[in-house]
Amino acid sequence: MVEQNNEIYQEKLEMVYMKSSSPEGITVAEKELTAKLHKRWGMIASEGSVFMLLLILGIIKTRNAFNREADLARREKNFLLSVTHELKSPIASVKLQLQTLLKHDLNRDKEKEILSNALSDTERLNNLAENILLAAKIDNRSDFMFREKLNLSEFIGDIITKARQSFNYTHQIALNLEPGIYFDIDRMTFPSIVMNLVENAVKYSPDGSTITIGLHQASNKIYFSVMDEGVGIDKNEKDSIFEKFYRIGNEETRKTKGTGLGLYIVNYLVNYHRGKILVKDNHPKGTEFEIAFTNM
């Protein structure tokens, strides 16, 4: 295009030489043509720069979209592998425990221990199924929740009591629940907030350590927190842990179980309940998940 403009300029300049009868007229016409040529060059350069910028932005956007899709595909693949393992392990465990009861004549205490372990594995299967169903409902934008005013202090206390009875926790569970706090919640899904945060703390903290569950009210805010004494969460991962299928660490070094759905569900349910969740460092070590609900 630049060469074409130069050719047009030369042709017009030759026409000026042929038509003009004085050197002054030629000089003026030549200056005018040169100015027009420079202006055209500026327009071409400007249009070319815009085109190149749009091309570069398009390439970057396409690459980012491709990387996101590839990352999501990788997470979905890992989820399928994880959920298969999460299903097979407790099923195999329950089967072995029931076979032990059938084949051996055990004393009552040993039978109770085996049945307790089987119940714990069954509850974990149930929680896994509930998380998968909840995630499917969230993705389908289903209207499946209804809020009602309940005594949140007693409700959370009951959830933890049942969890202690169902799961063989090797951690110390410390409750710090301010009594008499009422809040509008969906009684069917709110337990998923509590249990997913507690299970997350159990997975990422050592046996025998303390998990502290707190609830208190200040002004028009209700604060619910779960603190552990575990490995903590790297600051670079704190923005990603609520994404679907996201799990801390990499597949080669990760030792903890999970599907990457728990915190994704928690974040959605917290937003539904007019809350905001923060991830803090629990000093001297560990993690604190704090939820601030607006009590209207």
> pLDDT digits over 270-284, tens only?
999 999 999 998 888
Q: How many domains does the chain have?
A: 3
Residues 193 and 212 in one domain: yes
* pLDDT interval class at 137 (50, 70, 90): confident
Residues 89 and 117 in one domain: yes
Per the DSSP assignment, residues forming a β-bridge with 223 are: 216, 292
Residue 30 reports pLDDT greater than 90? no
Residue 87 lies in a domain: yes
Q: Which residue has the higher pLDDT, 50 or 155?
A: 155
Residues 226 and 152 in one domain: yes
Query: In this structure, how many other beta carbons lie within 10 angstroms of the beta carbon of residue 288?
Result: 18
Residue 72 lies in a domain: no
Residues 192 and 222 in one domain: yes
19 phi and psi angles, rounded to 5 deg: -90, -30
Q: Please name the helix (run of DSSP H) or strand (run of DSSP E) that holds residue 223, with its range, or none.
A: strand 221-227
Residues 125 and 155 in one domain: no
Residue 67 lies in a domain: no
DSSP 249: S
**Contact of 82 with 74, CB cutoff 8 Å:** no
Residue 210 CA to residue 201 CA, distance in Å, equals 10
Chain centroid offset of residue 219 CA = 30
Q: Which domain holds residue 290?
A: 148-294
Residue 66 lies in a domain: no
Among 106, 139, 172, the domain-final residue is 139
What mean pLDDT, rounded, does the chain reach? 80
The contacts of residue 163 (CB under 8 Å, 6+ apart) are 169, 195, 198
Residue 68 lies in a domain: no
Report CA dihedral (106, 111, 113, 118) to the nearest 10 degrees: 120
Residues 90 and 203 in one domain: no
Residue 263 lies in a domain: yes
pLDDT (mean) for 94-102: 87
Residues 120 and 202 in one domain: no
Residue 254 reports pLDDT greater than 70? no
Residues 46 and 83 in one domain: no
> pLDDT digits over 72-93, tens only?
666 666 666 666 667 778 888 8
* Domain CATH for 88: 1.10.287
Residues 289 and 155 in one domain: yes
Residue 70 lies in a domain: no
Q: Please name the helix (run of DSSP H) or strand (run of DSSP E) that holds residue 279, with its range, or none.
A: strand 275-281
Residue 264 lies in a domain: yes
SS3 assignment, position 209:
coil
Residues 128 and 108 in one domain: yes
> What's the start-to-end Cα distance of the chain, in Å?
66
Among 120, 139, 158, the domain-final residue is 139
Among 116, 139, 162, the domain-final residue is 139
Give the chain's length. 296
Q: Are strands 287-294 and 275-281 parallel, antiparallel or unpaired?
A: antiparallel
- Determine if the pTM surpasses 0.85: no
